[in-house]
Amino acid sequence: MRFAVIDSKLVPEKILGSPISRIDDIPEIPLDPQFSFQADLKKILNGKQLLFEDVPFSHEIIQQHYEHGYVTYRKGLITAGKRFVCQRCGNEDKTWFAAFHCHRCNEECAYCRRCLMMGRVSECTPLVGWRDDAEVGSNGRDDVAQRLLQWDGSLSDGQKEAAIRVERAMLEKEELLVWAVCGAGKTEILFQGIEAAIAAGQRVCIATPRTDVVLELAPRLKAVFPNVSIAALYGGSEERHVFAALTISTTHQLLRFYRAFDTLIVDEVDAFPYSVDETLHYAVRQARKPYSAMIFLTATPCRSWQRECREGKRAHVTIPARFHRHPLPVPEFVWCGNWAKLLQKGRLPGSVVSWAKTRCDAGKGALMFIPRIELMEKMLPLFRKLHQGIESVHAEDSHRKEKVRKMREGKIPLLLTTTILERGVTFPNIDVAVLGAEAELFTESALVQIAGRAGRSASFPKGVVSFFHFGVTEEMQRARKVIQSMNKEAEKRCLVD
């Protein structure tokens, strides 16, 4: 599409116009209060930055709303000297731009490859949004007399304190890190803040790196906030255009939002891909309103954040104890020699065999983390000599869900796994081991998460965590230290019995 500025308005102009990124200033049109705008269009565009093809309205209708001050156009790409910057995903790396012959502007048109999977942003692409002001920015609630939160559970003392801090941060638009150990119950601590913010007409988003978590959180939140509109967004979800007070989204889907949320809560801020992908950080910044709250949730903050917390440079609240008031199991380190070499000879270390045998005999479930799939495949037949029911699972395993279910039901005595079960899964009564804990992929945070799988349920709060290794690493030591210091703090604050 080509545009020109005529009478202080941006208008489509096939012949004389140019791609939007080459127009110096895009005029802002004053709001015409007499204009009767389309409520459905507002629903779709409010707080978003969409492409024309994402909006199920004709160009004419969108243009009309622009000309009356309701719709906004922003450049999809801007040029900085000779370089491009993608305004949707923040990409400025020139290797991530390409050009094609574009039928819309009828010339060579550069585009961003980085966010291409969400539709093409090129030199002639406007990002379409809705005018950002207080009136249209609210979540549209006008019937807040009823109680929004319908939950009769209770919070632990640690959760209560965190819930109060979260609510305050949300209402006062502050940044806060919630450092909650695995099994502390971090979802519940958000309820009271979400209720207060939504009652005040604000929009809240919980973003998480993983689709699994969106699918798990959405029904839980819909159950406790039955009268709040809730949208669950992930690749392929159908709720894309729901205008919701509460949005639960993958961090990736945030790329479609622009200055949308009064509070943005990022869950598992340390998890892949959020932890490594700059685009997602940009998406988070863009999706927030300029004056907004930011809450980070994690069980395993990165080292620099841990240091900032210790030095008092980062606003944070810790929940050092689990909901059931038992301390976290502290990992034991067990030297098992050169297990990889032994495996080549078709054998397993004696200490590992006796660990596995004890669990199988006692009928207590167990998880064993293995650094790589091919090692795991070699080990499985060796473990099966102890018990035929032993299974293995990894990310590409087509029976993954079924195996996790069987494990939960106690039908698998020992499950060998890669790091895919490192977080997010709960099995009621298990011991946990890592074989080859010195491997590089077992970072401090991975090991803390793995240890966090044991002893989670109130009926079985104890679990043994063993790191079988061929040389203790710094990461192993840090992981153990962090767990111990959480236990110590929990004791000091009387959060464990």
Residue 115 phi, psi dihedral angles, 5° rounding = -115, 25
State in angstroms the smallest separation of the CB of 116 from Zn ion: 8
Q: Which of residues 120-159 bind Zn ion (CB under 5 A)?
A: 122, 124
Q: Is 105 in the site for Zn ion (CB under 5 A)?
A: yes
| Pairing mode, strands 430-435 and 365-369 | parallel
- By C-beta, is 63 or 286 nearer to Zn ion? 286
- Taking CB under 5 A as the binding criterion, the range among 112-120, 146-154, 258-266, 416-424 that sits at the site for Zn ion is 112-120
Q: Is 454 in the site for Zn ion (CB under 5 A)?
A: no
Query: Measured between alpha carbons, how far is 54 from 60 in angstroms, rounded to an integer?
Result: 15
Q: Is 110 in the site for Zn ion (CB under 5 A)?
A: no
Both tokens assigned to 395? 């990310």
- By C-beta, is 86 or 348 nearer to Zn ion? 86
- Taking CB under 5 A as the binding criterion, the range among 100-108, 351-359, 422-430, 481-489 that sits at the site for Zn ion is 100-108
Q: Which positions ≥6 away from 235 have C-beta within 8 Å?
A: 211, 250, 252, 253
State in angstroms the smallest separation of the CB of 114 from Zn ion: 5
Q: Which of residues 35-94 bind Zn ion (CB under 5 A)?
A: 86, 88-89, 91
Place of tokens 């209560």: 160
State in angstroms the smallest separation of the CB of 148 from Zn ion: 36
Decide: helix, strand or coil at residue 218. Answer: helix
Place of tokens 């980085």: 114
State in angstroms the smallest separation of the CB of 26 from Zn ion: 16
Please name every residue paired with 130 in a beta bridge, in sequence order, or none if there are none.
71
Report CA-CA distances (Å) from 330 to 108, 233, 386: 61, 37, 27
State in angstroms the smallest separation of the CB of 280 from Zn ion: 12
Closest CA to 128 of 11, 44, 199, 216: 44
Among 29, 62, 77, 109, contact with Zn ion (rule: CB under 5 A)? 109
Closest CA to 167 of 195, 199, 206, 137: 195
Place of tokens 């199991």: 329
- By C-beta, is 12 or 350 nearer to Zn ion? 12
Among 2, 114, 259, 423, contact with Zn ion (rule: CB under 5 A)? 114
Q: Is 102 in the site for Zn ion (CB under 5 A)?
A: yes
- By C-beta, is 21 or 445 nearer to Zn ion? 21
State in angstroms the smallest separation of the CB of 276 from Zn ion: 17
Q: Is 256 in the site for Zn ion (CB under 5 A)?
A: no
Query: Measured between alpha carbons, how far is 2 from 106 in angstroms, rounded to an integer?
Result: 9
Please name every residue paired with 77 in a beta bridge, in sequence order, or none if there are none.
86
Q: Is 112 in the site for Zn ion (CB under 5 A)?
A: yes
- By C-beta, is 125 or 300 nearer to Zn ion? 125
Query: Measured between alpha carbons, how far is 118 from 449 in angstroms, rounded to an integer?
Result: 32
- By C-beta, is 112 or 407 nearer to Zn ion? 112
| CA 395-398-401 angle, 5° bins | 75
Give the footprint of Zn ion on this chain (CB under 5 A).
Answer: 86, 88-89, 91, 102, 104-105, 109, 112, 114-115, 122, 124
